Structure 1
Amino acid sequence: MSDPAAKRGAVTAAKKALFLVFHIGSERYALKATEVAEVLPRLPLKPIAHAPMWVAGIFAHRGNMVPVIDLSALTFGTLAQARTSTRLVLVNYQPETWLESRWLGLILEQATDTLRCDPADFQAYGLDNRQAPYLGPVREDERGLMQWIGVGDLLTAEVRALLFAPDLSVGEAR
């Protein structure tokens, strides 16, 4: 015996995705939780010479060197505020589907909430912001607009080359 209302509820739940919600200033943004590897407190970073100002530095985590960017500085040119709710969020950065994903750290303000919603609730907002291709569609709710951040679009090829050494095949000169 099956309950049709229960089936509808299961289908609705299956369409929903979990998002990590954070702020840049007073504006809300979201990352899809499946792209988040780990949420850490803010940690000391080693600066990277000749990197853009929004590249916060690098740190060692579980045997890996992880580059970190300040999303507030990247987006609006203002460093993230040092709050107790400011987090270092490790994301699985994969700019192309054929490339192996790597950890990229993001400094995010007020990264303490989650939201479960249908990804289709986020809609294109009609602007062609070529300078910030990572700024994705928006979702409206009772608190205003929230924008989805596309992790794979965060870095230009030039910055990606600076932060991630190319993988050399066995036998290639180093």
Structure 2
Amino acid sequence: MSEVTAKRSVAPVTRQALFLLFRIGEERYALRATEVAEVLPRLPLKPIARAPHWVAGVFAYRGVVVPVIDLSALTFGRTAEARTSTRLVLVHYRPDEAQPARKLGLILEQATDTLRCNADEFQPYGLDNRQAPYLGPVREDARGLVQWVRVADLLDDSVRALLFPTPPLDPARLEEAP
């Protein structure tokens, strides 16, 4: 065995993860790529009456109606800017391991770059932000901080019940007289 091969076999293996980077205003955020199903251009949405302002609407995706939230509006109360880099990102939303993953759309600004790093490089930022439990740990690099967004924690119980009713609504029952 050569000396180079011997050194490679002794070197510790760091497990790197891939993240999709995006911005909310000037701030950088990241989604774990394993949670991303597909990145689409921004599409027209059907609004949902009486939903929170950050629920952008729904759209049909391969025969399934998918709810979409505007992460900028959810986080800071401002709708995402309509830029050429603003994307509709489909994620695997699974708040509970007992439930199957469902598709959820996220409107994200400047969702065009990725980051490959060790997930352990993200560290707690020292605040207990119960109003935004989806905002996870942060990682510092040459351009500042990037914060990990946890998909499973995006929706509270009331919005989850609105967007993903359990059991799903039966269209046949809609025609029944009240």
Aligning the two structures, in what range does the TM-score lie when normalised by the shorter sequence?
Answer: over 0.9
Q: TM-score under structure 2 normalisation?
A: 0.90
Amino acid paired to 1:115: L
Please name the residue that 1:74 is paired with. Answer: 74
Deviation at 1:5, TM superposition (A): 3.6
Gap regions ≥5 residues in structure 2: 174-178
Q: C-alpha distance in 2, partners of 1:8/1:109?
A: 42
Query: Kindly tell me: are residues 27 and 65 of structure 1, through their superposed partners in 2, closer, same or farther at Cα, counting changes over 3 Å?
Result: same
Please name the residue that 1:48 is paired with. Answer: 48
Please name the residue that 2:84 is paired with. Answer: 84
Deviation at 1:9, TM superposition (A): 6.2
Q: C-alpha distance in 1, partners of 2:111/2:16?
A: 20
Please name the residue that 1:158 is paired with. Answer: 158
Query: Kindly tell me: are residues 167 and 145 of structure 1, through their superposed partners in 2, closer, same or farther at Cα, counting changes over 3 Å?
Result: same
Q: Percent of pairs identical after alignment?
A: 71
Residue 142 of structure 2 is aligned to residue 142 of structure 1: yes
The equivalent position to 1:4 in structure 2, one of 3, 6, 13, is: 6
Q: C-alpha distance in 2, partners of 1:6/1:26?
A: 40
CA offset digits 1:31-80 (Å, max 9, x no partner): 00000000000000000011000000000000111000000000000000
Q: How many residues align?
A: 168
Please name the residue that 1:62 is paired with. Answer: 62
Gap regions ≥5 residues in structure 1: none
Please name the residue that 2:27 is paired with. Answer: 27
Deviation at 1:167, TM superposition (A): 3.1
Q: C-alpha distance in 1, partners of 2:52/2:147?
A: 24
CA offset digits 1:68-112 (Å, max 9, x no partner): 000000000000000000000000000011111000000000000
Deviation at 1:166, TM superposition (A): 1.2
Deviation at 1:8, TM superposition (A): 5.6
Q: TM-score under structure 1 normalisation?
A: 0.92
Q: Which runs of 4+ in 1 moved over 2 A?
A: 4-10
Please name the residue that 1:18 is paired with. Answer: 18
Give the alignment's Cα RMSD to 1 decimal: 1.6
